[in-house]
Every structure is written in C-alpha cells, then in structure tokens.
Structure 1
Amino acid sequence: MNRIICLPVLLCCVGILAFGQPVPAQKLEASDIEAFLENYDAIESSMATLDYDLGNVLAGVEGPQEMLDHFRNNETPKEIQDIMSANGLGSDGLEKMTIIIISAYGFHIEDMFLSKGIDLDDISGHEYNSELKEFRDEIAAVRGLVHPEDLELIRGRAAEIMQVVEG
C-alpha cells in the first residue's frame, strides 16, 4: 500500500530547518498517539479515496517548520477534518500526524545511530563528523518545533509509530 501521508512528511524532514523558535504549544495527548497507531491504515485508505494530493498541497514547502506552519495557517479541507475526527485525531489531525511522524522519525534515526555505537551528542573525532553533525542538527531543529511533553509521548512509542508508518 502506498504511504501517501508519510512520504511527503519524511521527505520534508531533510529540508532546511529554522532555529530559535519559541516553545511550541502542546498539541498531543496519549489518546492521540493511540488513535494514530490504531487508525493509521484507515486514515490512509480514507485519504486515498479523496481528490486531495498532499504532495501537491505541500509543493514548495521546505522542511518541517514550513509544513507545520502550513497546517496551522491554512484550513484543512472539511473532508480531511472529518476523516481525522472519525479516527480519533480531531479536526487538526493532519498537524498532529505530522508532529507524530517527524518526531518519531528523528527518534528512529537517533536510535539507529546508537545501535551502531554512535552517540550524536558526542561525534568529535568521528570519521563522518560533518554528516553526523548534519543529522544531529536536523533532529534538534525538528525537536525545537514540538512541545517537550509531546516529544515525551512520542519517544515512548517511536518504534511502534515507525513500524506503522513504514508498514
């Protein structure tokens, strides 16, 4: 099954990211993570029936900051709000899904490096120092876009989230 929701989100994770943002508002509750995990496939299937191409909607959007700004500043079509609400994420579910996916992806990348014995917080002297620094900085920037309590909710379920998203 095509992953129409996560592909644009994951691709935007490698975009240019802004620093120095104020602490973002908390958006998630544990029930949102649960609804995401339980209903991701249903949401994806329902979205596929609509004449709504998230890739086209986000064309020209660079990075998670612009993506989240887009969802916060533009009204999501009612059909999508209805899908999100019916699946337990509320009318702002597209924004919540973006927060969940980009955050889980950051934890996934970090865990992948840790499993290889690479701590992104201590990369001095590593032969791939500049590449690792880039990953570290991108992950930090994404985390700066998400409320710390939202990150903690996601951190505990990041592996499950990535398993659902990657199918």
Structure 2
Amino acid sequence: MAKDFEQVEAEAKTGGNVTLDAEAQQSREAGKQLAEEGNGNSDLLAAARSMEQVARKQKNLTIELRQTTKAVAAALKEIEDIRSSLHDITSQAQQAALNGVTAAQEKAQEETIKRLDEVAKKNIEYIDALTQESKRRIERLKMVTLPDRLFNFGKWTALFLILIILCHIVWTMLMG
C-alpha cells in the first residue's frame, strides 16, 4: 500500500512499526477520505457536467442570438432600402405632381389668354360697330339739323339786318 509523506512521518515518530489495527484504522480513514473525495469528485463532476450543459445552452443561445441579430440587421437593411425607395418614389411623385400642375397651369394660362384674345376681338368689333353707328347717326343728324341751322342762321341774319336798318332810320331822323 502506498504511503504518503504524513504517514511516513507519523510512523517515524511512533517508532516505525504499525500494528494491524492501526493499519486497518488508517485504511478505514483513507476509505472515508476517498469516499469524501469521491463525493466531492462526484459533486465536482456533477457541477462540471452542469456547467458544460450551461455552456452548451449559452453557446446555443449565443448562436440563436447571432442569428436573430443577423435577421434583425437584414430586416433593418430591408426597411432602410424600402424607406429610401419610398423616399425616391415620393420625390418622383412630387416632381410628377409639380410637373403636372405646371403643365395644367400652363395649359390654363394658354386657354385664358386665348379666351381673353377672343373677348378682346369681340369687344373691338363691337366698339367699331358702335363707332360706325354713331358716325351714321351724326351724319343723319347733320342732314336733319342742317336746314334748322340754316333757318336759325337766316333768322338771326334777318333780325340783325332789320336792327341795322331800324338803327339807320332812327339815326337819319335824329340827324336829319
């Protein structure tokens, strides 16, 4: 049987010879010690196995977490791509709307200018027609009022001549 250093020292102190009872006692103590160490070892083995299981679980969780992180990163990238494409589409839609509004505004301006030109032409024609009608009426009035004017002119001229003749008669009577 193998002896450890402490046992050798103990034997040296006691005189070197060990009795059968002492050796049995030592064997029992060594057995108890081994049993305790065995229990400790079994506890250690159980703890080691438990830690290995925890480590495996942690490793699996880490792998799952990495996969989840990759999936989230991919989803975020896809969301960012969708966001940028929506931004581009929104910009294009706004530009198209602005172009459409601009085109509609230009068309409306052209139609408005065209209609204003038509109205202006109609007004010019109407004013020309009224001017011609006024000229014709003035000519007719001139023709109608010309004899009246001649009559008034003749009346005043005759009245003036009669007044001159009367003044001449009065003067010759007074001077005369």
Normalised by the length of structure 1, the TM-score is 0.18
Greater relative contact order: 1 or 2 (C-alpha under 8 angstroms, separation 6 or more)? 1
Which of 1 and 2 has greater Rg? Answer: 2
**TM-score normalised per structure 2:** 0.17
